[in-house]
Structure 1
Amino acid sequence: MDQSERLIHPGVRQRRYVHIMVKLSACLIVKNESGILPRCLESIQSFADEIIIVDTGSTDNTVEIALRYKAKVHHFQWRNDFSAARNESLRYANGDWILYIDADEIIDEANALKIRSLINSKDIMALTVRQCIPQQCDNIATSFYSEYCRVFRRHPEIRFEGTIHEQILPSIKRLGGKILRADIIIHHWAYAFNKEKKRQRAERNLNYLLKEFEKNPDDSFTLFNLGMTYQELGNNDSAIQVYLRMLEKPTDIKNELTGQSHINLSKIYLENDNTTKAVYHAQQALLLDTNNPLSAYMLATIAVTKKQFQKAIEHLETAIKISEGETGIAPNVELNMAQIYLELGSCRYSLHDFVGAENDFLRSLAYDASATNPYILIGNSRLIRGDKRGAKDMFEQALTINPQLTEAKSGLTLCSNEKSALANE
């Protein structure tokens, strides 16, 4: 019997936290986090009854910062095992409930209120939350959402497992505890770091994952994270092998991760110009994880490479429906909607649907008014339709944003001609 359920939590009146019987301990493990720790502690100090910090060897002023926020600091000799450090933090907790959080995460007031309310429930043992992970600005995905158990009752048999990407859920499930899927969001910032920091983190993770793989070569969760790490480091051949090994075996891993594995394989195969396998894995992802719009976006991208613009339009419209929650399920990926509508309009433009294209370009501008490409494309579309005055407005708007824009200057020249060159094409 599935012990988890979906909860759409009602709004909670905003107020100061009052003294209640249920106590919450926030537990962190840290090392040299002085640059980001204050932001985290600032976000949790108002609703956590105590903050437990296990320091694994900081050489900066992390400990001093923690003490400034009245945290209880304990020292632990790092042994290349994240679960060991997490479990050490649990030893010192006195609360009825545990919230585990990292130094590069924050919880805003609205979500703090939800946590405080839900831990008063008498019939649940744990809560899952959605971790929001922002991406680099040049990524079609602006944020990823991953579901994790982060809040649970303090219990001697509830402990973390796994050297890296440690998990708490297995021990909770062995106890038969009821797990509530809550609409709580924790904001995570580490993966918005620059490429060098991400590379260093990936190289560190790879060493731990390879050791975990040696111990249990068929563990799906380890294989998934190993494939992700290989891919992040640019070792696509190894990533393919690991993903396929994971997908070939029976698994109880959630569809979200299986679907993401198919999406990642689709990306790799598309980069290698193997569109047949790219299509297959994107289609599998769409079947397995219906709240991830990236699978539809991948199919659209592949269709564009084949100049199948109508098919691309259909896939992009599917991606938009998923992204905007029209399927009735909260998406686990937020897309760059300005780029999505720009690509959708470009497909319509290629099919000479200039009115439809202009509508999509305008939607793109509604998400990002600082972009110049939509103005240029709307200007071109209006020129083709003979609307020189309207085209001129668009090119001038583009030049307002970037006075050196060659395409906009050329467009203005065409507007001043007796007959538009584009209209003659």
Structure 2
Amino acid sequence: MSAGDFASEIIIVDTGSTDQTVDIARSFGAQVKHFVWIDDFSVARNESIREATGDWIFWLDADDRLSPENLNRLKQALVSGQADVYSSGIVSHSAELDAARTTALHWRLFRNFLGLQFHYPLHETLNFTTAQADITTAYTNILIEHTGYSLDREKIQAKAQRNLTIIQQCLARNPHDLHWHYHQAVSLSLLGKHAQAAEGYEAVLANPPDSLSQEVDLYQAYVALAAAYIKINYPEKARETFTRALKVFPNRRHLAIAAGMFYLDQDEPEQAVALFERAKLLSPHSDALGHIWPDGTLEGYLSQAYLLIGNLRQADLSKPKPGEWTKLATVRLLRTGKTRSAERLCRLALAENKNDTAAQNLLNLLVEQPHGPWSLLTGWVQTLLTSPHDPVASHALNQWAIALELSSVELLRHHGERLLSQGNYLPAAETFSLVVSMVPDQTEGYKSLAVALRALGREDDALLAWQVGQNIAHRKYRCSDNVLGRGTALRLPHQGRPQGYAPTQFKMFF
């Protein structure tokens, strides 16, 4: 079933599609109006209103979906006669499976011939001030699934860049319009420009414009601001933002869970437990607008938090098997970079088995170096790039790798990925340069190096690193065609550095 099953006319304003959109639309009986794109969604939308002849207008984007259940709700709203304009909930999903979904209200169903028009070139909405008579509105339980953000990263960024172009045109006309500063911050976040986004969110929250919704837009500004500070490695700023947000939105379940996740990553499981338990007391309906986590998110993170403080009963877990406490300590240390929970888990392991040498070795290092290996690894990398056989750096790296039950290269890769996620691209590039010098046939090492080099603006070096990685992968793939048996493939012997690799091409800059 589709919206076309009940509409007396379907009007599509095509702003320049290059596929079969027009032919497909006409095959369903749609009227297609060609419109030259001028970076303004409201102008295009108003063109569709001028073409409409029916008593009611219901509008959809190309990436909106209406289920049969919600189509029936739409029909009920039409026959109720209670209002001139009806709302719909627009539910947006991320491509990431564990990400929260977002619900916002849009005015999607309205009477024709009242003079209603859309305004704003981007994120257009009905402008009631253009109406020729008093307007009555009503809220409905109609839900529309918006798939525009269920895209891969490259398409999301292309969409954000398109939006940013329109927004910057608006800001050129009115540089102090905080409505557009908010939307600019959203696009900058999607483009990975988190420091600039944080500035925009701070300005908006200091003086919120009336055009933004408190429950959706301003809530999003707080959550996105905290996320931006986390991305640029300003945890104290993120902490302050969550504290402010919890005062403004004390009853939002999503926020309590998000704050709990932050404290869990900061290696503060006690504070995380308090926030997760607070979230348990809040109704899921508190997130009817804005963000809501997938089912089971709260329970999973609360269990983790209780486990990290050693409360197995509350974590609803059985007693770990020998060695599992130590493995968990390693995972926490690698994931968060924090040592407090790792040290506690090592002590729990030793309480179960005082002869657990893996736990004792890791605990000894944590006591000797309470900040963990991360603050020291960058220095070791720089030393080993210039002096590959430096005994002090080599011993220290090997010592931590053994304690974490990793190879030295695996530890370096974890370190490099952490640096990338924090936006520390130069030390990340140095780390991956060391990785590929230690293991020249590691495809992923070259690809990660390429990502770091590209972030540094070194496109030629990034392309070279990526091509070397692709060549290695291709060589391994060709080798794997010579199978010895089901599921068993030949492995190439070590043959020195792959063709096209020159260590100075990467190392000379570091």
The two structures have a TM-score, normalised by structure 1, of 0.70
SS of residue matched to 2:117: coil
SS of residue matched to 1:349: helix
Give the corresponding residue for 2:479.
Answer: none
- Note the alpha carbon deviations across 1:355-383, whole angstroms, 9 max, x for none: 1112xxxxxxxxxxxxxxxxxxx45x354
Check whether the contact 1:51–1:72 (CA below 8 A) recurs between aligned residues.
yes
Q: 1:230 aligns with which of 165, 168, 188?
A: 188
State, as a whole percentage, how many aligned pairs show the same letter: 26
Q: Which 10-residue stretch deviates more, 247-256 or 78-87?
A: 247-256
Give the corresponding residue for 1:298.
Answer: 258
1:77-88 correspondence to structure 2 within 5 Å: 77-88=36-47
Can you give the 5+ residue segments of structure 2 that lack an aligned partner in the other structure? 325-348, 355-510
Q: 1:46 to 1:322 in 2, by over 3 A?
A: farther
Give the corresponding residue for 2:417.
Answer: none
Determine whether 1:424 maps to 2:353: yes
Check whether the contact 1:349–1:357 (CA below 8 A) recurs between aligned residues.
yes
AA aligned opposite 1:301: M
Give the corresponding residue for 1:35.
Answer: none
Determine whether 1:68 maps to 2:27: yes
Deviation at 1:298, TM superposition (A): 3.1
Give the corresponding residue for 1:247.
Answer: 205
Give the corresponding residue for 2:117.
Answer: 159
Give the corresponding residue for 1:180.
Answer: 138
Check whether the contact 2:115–2:131 (CA below 8 A) recurs between aligned residues.
no
- Note the alpha carbon deviations across 1:79-113, whole angstroms, 9 max, x for none: 22111110111111112111110111111111111
Deviation at 1:262, TM superposition (A): 1.1
SS of residue matched to 1:200: helix
The two structures have a TM-score, normalised by structure 2, of 0.59
SS of residue matched to 1:182: coil
Give the corresponding residue for 2:240.
Answer: 280
> C-alpha distance in 2, partners of 1:336/1:108?
20
SS of residue matched to 1:45: helix
Q: 1:59 aligns with which of 18, 33, 44?
A: 18
AA aligned opposite 1:259: Y
Give the corresponding residue for 1:313.
Answer: 273
Give the corresponding residue for 1:103.
Answer: 62
Deviation at 1:265, TM superposition (A): 1.0
> C-alpha distance in 1, partners of 2:24/2:262?
50
1:236-385 correspondence to structure 2 within 5 Å: 236-252=194-210, 253-255=212-214, 256-289=216-249, 292-322=252-282, 324-325=284-285, 327=286, 330=288, 332-358=290-316, 378=317, 381-383=319-321
Deviation at 1:261, TM superposition (A): 0.5
- Note the alpha carbon deviations across 1:171-229, whole angstroms, 9 max, x for none: 47895422212111001112111111111111111100101122233434322211100
Q: 1:122 to 1:217 in 2, by over 3 A?
A: farther
Q: 1:92 to 1:298 in 2, by over 3 A?
A: same
AA aligned opposite 1:423: E
Say what the alpha-carbon RMSD is for the aligned residues. Answer: 2.6
1:90-239 correspondence to structure 2 within 5 Å: 90-141=49-100, 143-171=101-129, 176-239=134-197
Q: Which has the higher strand share?
A: 1
> C-alpha distance in 2, partners of 1:145/1:290?
19
> C-alpha distance in 1, partners of 2:11/2:148?
21
Deviation at 1:157, TM superposition (A): 2.1
- Note the alpha carbon deviations across 1:50-91, whole angstroms, 9 max, x for none: 111111222221111001111111212222211111011111
Deviation at 1:170, TM superposition (A): 4.2
AA aligned opposite 1:258: L
- Note the alpha carbon deviations across 1:297-328, whole angstroms, 9 max, x for none: 33213322443322211212334555733x5x
AA aligned opposite 2:277: E
Check whether the contact 1:292–1:331 (CA below 8 A) recurs between aligned residues.
no
Can you give the 5+ residue segments of structure 1 that lack an aligned partner in the other structure? 1-41, 359-377, 385-390, 392-419
Q: Which has the higher helix share?
A: 2
Check whether the contact 1:283–1:295 (CA below 8 A) recurs between aligned residues.
no
> C-alpha distance in 2, partners of 1:77/1:45?
25
Give the corresponding residue for 1:4.
Answer: none
AA aligned opposite 2:193: N
AA aligned opposite 1:279: R
- Note the alpha carbon deviations across 1:246-284, whole angstroms, 9 max, x for none: 222252222121121011111122333433321232233
AA aligned opposite 1:274: Y
Determine whether 1:48 maps to 2:7: yes
Deviation at 1:118, TM superposition (A): 1.2
SS of residue matched to 2:180: helix
Check whether the contact 2:87–2:106 (CA below 8 A) recurs between aligned residues.
yes
The alignment of Structure 1 onto Structure 2 pairs a total of residues equal to 328
The structure having more radius of gyration, on CA atoms, is: 2
> C-alpha distance in 2, partners of 1:290/1:117?
35
SS of residue matched to 1:168: strand
> C-alpha distance in 2, partners of 1:286/1:330?
17
AA aligned opposite 2:175: P
> C-alpha distance in 2, partners of 1:159/1:341?
45
SS of residue matched to 1:160: strand
SS of residue matched to 2:29: coil
Q: 1:232 to 1:319 in 2, by over 3 A?
A: farther
Give the corresponding residue for 1:21.
Answer: none
> C-alpha distance in 1, partners of 2:99/2:171?
31
